[in-house]
Structure 1
């Protein structure tokens, strides 16, 4: 049994994780610990506070007791708003507090892009424009070529959590770019686990979503690789890459 630990702010889209766990197989367990959201606002100051060391440290004891082998901060915006260096420090502090390998959804996107072997991506962000731009800057700091960014201006996780497949498909179509080899949807509050394959079929290219890459990152830290085509190209043995 491989136990994966996730720190997740609040309840938005938490239903994605049992679905992903079921698709991964019976020997993988996802332990989800909810952290204090504070103010549900897509403002930089609120997002930085949401991912503060104190808030994250509160949940790690429960994950240790559950036997988690790795921990991932399951909040993209609560990571990349700190910038590249700040997000690295956040993860280092989390690993020290947890006593196990640690990462965040922000770095999961970077590692997943590299896993797929793509270099040019488009971003479909629910966030306000300034926050979406920070995610693009984070990716560029990692050497990823961001060819397009679409912002939807959603100001709370609660609102993003109400989106279904029609809204996801509309965002994906609007955000996609002919030069992009993959599309990234960076919001853990979106319910995406049931829709990744539909999104990839619609666009004809890999689609990376926040909850999907978060679990993949935890598996990577635990040195596990799982073939689960229902979770998209990232979880297949031979990633789809457009050149």
Structure 2
């Protein structure tokens, strides 16, 4: 028998090709609801309905509301630095570290300046989570996970070994950029504020590159 409308898929685990999009949609929906009603005032059912899904489909992706929030932190919080590092071309890291740093900062700024990224930081500030012990631990851990990149450049002679610990170098790069995020990359930021954040972040990046990296010598001396 022919049907006059589209075939509807039963609630359940979606195809793998759709899983990533569905998870992202659920995280974005949760952030919107957290901003409107607070974390405690947002239910799993409300998050599912915001995306037009059943609770069973949501549970195919996330075990709990806390898991959704942690996914948002992993994607849009300090841990996003690690994803940026992992996205770098190894040849760029070895051949042109300044370009690698610029690519890494651009990756981070794109994530933090997205609608979800700006909503996330506003939620963290409003609910006082920026100053929580968990967030402090997450930031420290993220700097530690960035450390091998700087250690590699120290080991290859591109950064003086006495300049600082690798994790401290990561903080020196991303601390001011994170401050710009707090000030100018929030949910209510105007276009000129967002542009200010990017310009400040990029100026700081160039300052860091000039201050930290040794100039490469030509093969003939």
Q: Flag the structure with more relative contact order, 1 or 2, with Cα contacts below 8 A and sequence separation at least 6.
A: 1
Give TM-score scaled by structure 1 length. 0.30
Identify, as 1 or 2, the structure richer in strand: 1
Which structure has the bigger radius of gyration? 2
Identify, as 1 or 2, the structure richer in helix: 2
Give TM-score scaled by structure 2 length. 0.32
